[in-house]
Amino acid sequence: MKELALRLKKGDELKEVIQNLNIETGVILSSVGSLSYADIRLAKALDHLELKEDLELISLNGTISLNDMHLHICVSDQKGRCYGGHLKKAIVNTTVELVIGVLEEYTSCRREDQTTGYKEIEFVRK
């Protein structure tokens, strides 16, 4: 595994920066920082929550591929309340420090899963 460590700056869109890295297969190893905006899809994919305020990035987890990402986020507001779910969009406030593991021995793709009814990410050793 190869690691990438980067610092995002004010105004950067988190998912856009990650997608522009052109990682074939990767995982989020660490993330910390602050956001000024987060759009989070909630459980069951029925609703989403838009937060337009100063937020702490508590956690970002997930997988990355050339054409897709599956990222979950947890943020906290100024009162310490936490919100989490599937990341749709996030804008960096002051900074985000991000460490990504690049899985050089794997490739990934989405395939229909009969048990879930969704196209799920599959990892295949090269």
pLDDT tens digits in sequence order for the chain, 126 residues long: 999 999 999 999 999 999 999 999 999 999 999 999 999 999 987 899 999 999 999 999 999 998 889 999 999 999 999 999 999 999 999 999 999 999 999 999 888 999 998 888 889 999
What are the structural domains, with CATH classification, of the chain? 2-105 (3.30.1330.80)
Rounded to two decimals, the pTM is 0.92
Helices and strands, counts by H and E, the chain: 1, 8
Alpha-carbon distance 109 to 37, whole Å? 29
Alpha-carbon distance 81 to 75, whole Å? 8
The dihedral over CA atoms of 112, 14, 40, 72, expressed in degrees to the nearest 10, equals 50
